[in-house]
Amino acid sequence: METVVAVASEASPVVQALRLAGFRVRLRAVEEPLDELAVHSPDAIVVDVPRGQLASVVEAIRGGPGTEATPLMATIDPELLREAALLKRLTDFCVRPTSKEELAARLRRMVTKPAGATSAGHLEAGGLVIDARGFQASLDGAPLDLAYQEFQLLRFLVSHPNQAFSREQLLARVWGWDYYGGSRTVDIHVRRIRAKLGHPLATWLTTIRHVGYRWTPYASAGDSASDLERMATGDGLDPSTGDPDASP
């Protein structure tokens, strides 16, 4: 049975829906300190608070020790769909009025571990270990020296195996909706990640022609020969700078 911390009132229909769906609910009122939620070892956190309190509650949870990477869902008013910075901090959300069935289904999907996941925020694939909470990655026991966005991009792709994402989707999901850089930024980071992963894991980060990228565990080298060629030639980037704006 998954444990869910609900930041809400006892009378919240969200709390009732969670209990009916079979989740173990740990209730926390919005007035209580929110920097100790990790003591419950929650599989997810659900927030159902008035609109004016939502941003501060989310900020407190994301800033708390041990809950930086915990799956976080919130119920929101339609007006908040324009708040890109707020939505970026959430793993998922439901728009009010909230359907109890939709809430339970979304939360169940959110806490279901993807292939390769061993615990919350922990991913493994072919000797690659990603610890989202500790912000660390290693390969065959050796630390991987990844820049911040390299880590975030790799973590995102590994947590969504066999799913293709366009460059624009990756920019929105990893860099954020308010990022104004070009899509070639994704190409640069993919090239650098491949170089650090080496063979054979570099071939698992596959290029989908005319689409974008996909993490394909245990892909054969033959399936990704073009990816290795791109990595060797710099993926069309300026070889001296690796800057997308430097290429003609």
The reply to whether 161 and 185 lie within a common domain is: yes
The reply to whether 125 and 106 lie within a common domain is: no
Give the residue-averaged pLDDT of 86-100. 86
Phi-psi group of 46: left, alpha or beta (phi > 0 → left; psi -120 to 50 → alpha; rest → beta): beta
The reply to whether 236 and 125 lie within a common domain is: yes
The reply to whether 139 and 229 lie within a common domain is: yes
The reply to whether 201 and 82 lie within a common domain is: no
**Burial classification of residue 34, based on how many CB atoms lie within 10 Å of its CB (0-12 exposed, 13-18 middle, 19 or more buried):** buried
CA angle centred on 205, ends 202 and 207, rounded to 5°: 120
Q: What is the pTM of this model?
A: 0.50
First vs last C-alpha separation in the chain: 55
pLDDT band for position 180 (cuts 50, 70, 90): low
Neighbours of 205 (CB within 10 A): 23
The reply to whether 167 and 238 lie within a common domain is: yes
The reply to whether 124 and 58 lie within a common domain is: no
Parent domain of 148: 118-246
Of 83, 111, 139, at which residue does a domain stop?
A: 111
The reply to whether 134 and 51 lie within a common domain is: no
Q: Is the pLDDT of residue 212 over 70?
A: yes
Does 38 or 228 have the greater pLDDT score? 38
pLDDT tens for residues 48-72?
A: 999 999 999 998 888 877 787 788 9
The reply to whether 71 and 129 lie within a common domain is: no
The reply to whether 65 and 9 lie within a common domain is: yes
The reply to whether 103 and 181 lie within a common domain is: no
pLDDT tens for residues 95-124?
A: 998 888 989 888 888 776 555 555 556 788
Q: In this structure, what CATH number is given to the domain that contains residue 85?
A: 3.40.50.2300
Q: Is the pLDDT of residue 234 over 60?
A: no
Of 93, 111, 129, at which residue does a domain stop?
A: 111
CA atoms within 13 A on the CB side of 170: 30
**What phi and psi, each to the nearest 5 degrees, are found at residue 171?**
-60, -45
How many domains are there within the chain? 2
Of 90, 111, 132, at which residue does a domain stop?
A: 111
**What phi and psi, each to the nearest 5 degrees, are found at residue 99?**
-80, 130
Q: In this structure, what CATH number is given to the domain that contains residue 154?
A: 1.10.10.10
The reply to whether 198 and 127 lie within a common domain is: yes
- To the nearest 10°, the Cα dihedral for 221, 226, 228, 231? -160
